Amino acid sequence: MTESAPSNASDARYDLLNQWLTVSLKLELRSLAPASSDASFRRYFRAELDGRTYIAMDAPPPLEDVRPFLRVAELMSKAGVKVPGVHAADVARGFLLLEDFGSEPYLDRLHTQSADALYGDALDALFTMQSKIPPAASGLPEYHDGLLQREFELFRDWFLQRLLGIELSSEEQALLDDCCARLIANALEQPTVVVHRDYHSRNLMVTENGNPGVLDFQDAVTGPITYDAVSLLRDCYVDWPLARVETWALNYAARLRDAKLLDGEVEDEQFLRWFDLMGMQRHLKAIGIFSRLKLRDGKSGYLQDIPRTLNYVLQSAGRYDIFAPFVALLEQHVVPRLDEVAGGAQ
């Protein structure tokens, strides 16, 4: 028998998951408790079975599909990236029983003294993924211009218009269009590799062997070589001094050159430009997603991450004269309005 379901999981999906584990799989389940939150419709539970723990994923169809997770898990595991082993799957009902990497994400362990070692491990894993999985043979979708455009629109729609209530003039709309076009061009001119697409401190677990354990990879694509590096090093949930970030980034660029994943003629200045502008694209998307999570899904906790993420955009854009009008728009109209909205939400 399992323990009673926690109040926030007392629902039909929880009962179906419990039934799958105990009846379909015939497991002696001691407990089934929430393991972590997620910025999607997926939920994760820690299942205790005879002294061992596993993670049970609930991905309710048709809102979620576990098949991309299974495909990417196989790709990454074969390449040598540490991803959760799959012990059982019910694709039709959206249930997976996975290896448990514990409850210590990078975010909880990162500090000034630990960062070099932890990021060293994370960059090792990223290099394995980028060097061992040929993008053309991966079967993953491309990070094409249409997808990049749709991601940028999250910022305009959910953040500027819906969360902040800013009515953009035709000139401001054109300014955003120009910014979007430049960021898309920057992404598409980079070498193509397999991209995790959410490679950051909440999706990397500290593990004793083969650190880190990599999670939340089901949306992987093939795309720009700097995308995951900037996701990791300019994380929406933790920030570091600029000089330290650039040292990590440029050391990684040197490694990519040595492996012929990056052309030797791509100098540090160009790599950092790719890195900065790729970060802008990702962070603008993230701001839109954080806003949508608040407004559509009632997950207000992500609002606290918007100022840090917006500061990344200002920092990166401020290094390039072509984005001066965009920086002015943010500083004069967006930041003050965000302060008003954030203050009213407290």
Q: Domain spans of the chain?
A: 7-99, 106-345
pLDDT digits (tens, 9 = 90+) for 197-231: 999 999 999 999 999 999 999 999 999 999 999 99
Question: What CATH number matches the domain at 106-345, 3.50.50.60, 3.90.1200.10, 4.10.520.10, 3.40.50.300?
Answer: 3.90.1200.10
Q: Please state the pTM of the whole predicted model.
A: 0.93
Query: Mean of the pLDDT values across residues 177-194?
Result: 98
Contact (CB, 8 A) for 226 and 262: no
- Asked if pLDDT for residue 258 goes beyond 60, the answer is yes
Q: What is the mean pLDDT of the chain?
A: 94
- What pLDDT was estimated at residue 328? 98
* C-alpha count within 13 angstroms, C-beta hemisphere, residue 339: 7
- What pLDDT was estimated at residue 236? 96
Query: Mean of the pLDDT values across residues 143-155?
Result: 97
Query: Mean of the pLDDT values across residues 150-174?
Result: 97
The pairing of beta strand 192-195 with beta strand 52-58? unpaired
- Asked if pLDDT for residue 2 goes beyond 70, the answer is no
CA dist 108 and 149 (Å) reads: 33
- What pLDDT was estimated at residue 342? 82
- What pLDDT was estimated at residue 9? 44
pLDDT digits (tens, 9 = 90+) for 84-123: 999 999 999 999 999 999 999 999 999 999 999 999 999 9
- What pLDDT was estimated at residue 69? 97
pLDDT digits (tens, 9 = 90+) for 272-282: 999 999 999 99
Which is nearest to 256 in space by CA: 180, 195, 213, 193?
Answer: 193
Tell whether domain 7-99 is in CATH 3.30.200.20: yes
- Asked if pLDDT for residue 75 goes beyond 50, the answer is yes
Contact (CB, 8 A) for 288 and 158: yes
Contact (CB, 8 A) for 55 and 35: yes
pLDDT digits (tens, 9 = 90+) for 224-256: 999 999 999 999 999 999 999 999 999 999 999
CA dist 177 and 153 (Å) reads: 10
Contact (CB, 8 A) for 295 and 167: no
